């Protein structure tokens, strides 16, 4: 009878161990998915700010029907949002390519490491009418 009880205890420990490992994996997957959603939401908000920049006159700090002032440096992203927003708990956001008269491309990198050691990345192409999201990683 003692051997049977010992085997049942071992079997129980193995089942608990497997459940813990699966739970940790599910938690990590959920964290990455949640970070992706937050990065996309932040990019969409920056995209809306870029569209407002496009439609504002230059005298009010806008682009006067152009995205040209939104340059791919700190000054360009600073026209859309402050440093605290462009590097927050969700991710880091930049302007990928200088704005043209018709579009600007924003770039967001998440802060949760994926299983392969990389981070979630997205590009958002903004025009006056649309915001097109593309997954980089």
Contact present, 125 and 103 (Cβ < 8 Å): yes
72, 97 Cβ separation under 8 angstroms: yes
Predicted structure pTM score: 0.80
Residue that wins the pLDDT comparison between 28 and 65: 65
Tokens of 20: 């813990």
Per-residue pLDDT tens for 70-92?
A: 999 989 999 999 878 899 999 99
pLDDT value at residue 44: 97
119-135 pLDDT tens trace = 999 999 999 999 999 99
Whether the pLDDT of residue 1 is over 70: the answer is: no
- Per-residue confidence (pLDDT) for residue 80, from 0 to 100: 92
- Please determine, for residue 25, whether its predicted confidence score (pLDDT) is greater than 70: yes
């Amino acid at each position: 009878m003692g051997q049977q009880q010992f085997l049942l205890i071992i079997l129980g420990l193995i089942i608990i161990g497997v459940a813990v490992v699966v739970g940790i994996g599910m938690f990590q997957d959920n964290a990455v998915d949640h970070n992706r959603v937050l990065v996309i939401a932040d990019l969409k908000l920056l995209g809306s700010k870029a569209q407002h920049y496009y439609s504002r006159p230059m005298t009010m700090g806008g682009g006067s029907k152009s995205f040209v002032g939104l340059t791919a440096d700190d000054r360009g992203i600073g026209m859309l949002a402050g440093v605290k927003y462009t590097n927050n708990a969700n991710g880091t956001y930049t302007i990928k390519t200088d704005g043209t008269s018709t579009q600007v491309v924003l770039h967001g990198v998440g802060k949760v490491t994926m299983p392969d050691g990389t981070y979630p990345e997205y590009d958002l192409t903004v025009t006056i009418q649309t915001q097109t999201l593309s997954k980089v990683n």
